[in-house]
Amino acid sequence: MLICSCREAAKSSLSLPPSQPFLKTEEFLRYPEEESLPEHNRSGRLTELESTHTVHDAFAQLFFRFLEEQRIRYCLLHPCEATLEDLSSDLRLAIHPDDEGKWPRVVEGLSASRFLPLRSVRCANRTWRYDFAWFASTRMNSMAVYVILKDEEGDLTSVSGFCETLANSRKKQYAECSAKPEQMHWIKVFRNQIEAIRSLVGDAFRQVQCWFHLTGLFIVILGPDGVGKSTIIQHLIDATGPAFRSNWVAHWRTMSLWRRKQTGTVTNPHGQVPHSAWWSVVRIFSHVLDYWFGYWWKIRPLLAQSNLIVFDRYYYDLIIDPRRYRYGGPQWLIRALSPLIPKPDLVFVLDAPDEVVLSRKQEVSLQEVQRQRHCYRQLAGKIANAILVRTDQELALVVRTASEVLTEALARRFHQQHLSCALQTTTPAN
């Protein structure tokens, strides 16, 4: 059953077989006279939503309000037995193609109200999914909005909106059911072949496009030992889980070409003698290859599938503490190769007072902790997308701050990729 908020659709008459009705006119949500209601209450749907008490109430209220303010004709595609609580995970609606140009204003209005658009993903032919996220207290909430400009039988371009098209679709099904069995067989075979070809071509096209318009996020966590990197990473993944399909955590590099001999916890980072200069040069060039190969082989495909990639340490660490990696070559070579390393979307540089760091780990001296903290702060000022985060505060506050920075980065990229928020330019999905 469809819940319609289309003025013309509510007034349309449907001619359907009386034995199997598809839509009932009395179930449409009709407009009262707009002059008799305040601006924010032009739809009976809004009044109903405002009486519910779920965590998604504020989003739903604003969403439908913006639709009404922009006078967008839409149908809410949910079963008739569904309740308002069932709409808490996602919203599915079809909008009239003539109102497509008004949709960006709805997205911009939600963004201005701190319901941040994270990504726009093309799911099928003329069907897009918009992911939104916002914070209530310390918890991240999310909502997926599916926008359809074409139903399974054809474009929704009739003057009466969608109901006439859907009724004709049902009529077509009745006609097919009344055909002879052998005719019905060939009709199904022909339709299945056409749909299979369309599906393959569409999937191939979306696979190509998703490689160039990433929907995941690649972040790096830096800081001296004892600053709380592992704790922050775990809590950040848990807090931002609704915004991503999955996550992948790596340490320093992708380990694509070869793995380290020792993978356990490092308790004495400066306990081994540095390699010779020539061997250090060979190793650093091999590390650069590993970063590049790992990015295109592991990281990029995961980013194209809306995943969160987190690195505990990265190539930048070699600039701060080359002794940790037994590097004995020239320092200028490390900095010269730095522009060749794939750049993350965000770099979180964690910092805490000396006594806090040493109370957690005593792997290096006080002087070394002070030196590393100073170098990391300088690095944060040189990297354009670096954020300095103090970890000597309450853990929930630190995670909330990092989570907000992460979601705002996704929202900024959304506005850059979809400046006009036009549906034709949205990102395809796998």
pLDDT of residue 256: 85
pLDDT of residue 261: 65
pLDDT of residue 74: 86
- Alpha carbon distance 133, 141 (integer Å): 6
- Alpha carbon distance 100, 94 (integer Å): 10
pLDDT of residue 100: 83
Where are the chain's structural domains? 2-178, 217-392
**Predicted confidence (pLDDT) per residue in 402-414, tens digit:** 999 999 999 999 9
**Predicted confidence (pLDDT) per residue in 175-202, tens digit:** 555 555 555 555 566 666 676 676 676 6
Provide the whole-model pTM.
0.76
More confident of the two residues 125 and 246: 246
Q: What's the CATH fold of domain 217-392? A: Rossmann fold (3.40.50)
**Predicted confidence (pLDDT) per residue in 325-341, tens digit:** 999 999 999 999 999 99
Q: What angle do CA 304, 129, 248 make, to 5 degrees?
A: 30
% pLDDT > 90, the chain: 44
Contact 392, 356 (CB under 8 A): yes
pLDDT of residue 292: 95
pLDDT of residue 41: 37
Concatenated DSSP letters for 142-192? EEEEEEESB-SSSB--BTTBTHHHHHHHHHHHHHHHTS-HHHHHHHHHHHH
Per the listing, tokens 């569409």 go with 202
Give the number of residues written for the chain. Answer: 430
55 CB neighbour count, 10 Å cutoff: 13
**Predicted confidence (pLDDT) per residue in 129-173, tens digit:** 999 999 876 678 889 999 987 544 444 433 334 444 544 554 555
**Predicted confidence (pLDDT) per residue in 236-273, tens digit:** 999 998 899 999 999 999 988 877 766 567 778 888 89
More confident of the two residues 359 and 124: 359
The torsion defined by the Cα of 387, 388, 390 and 394, in degrees rounded to 10, comes to 0
pLDDT of residue 271: 84
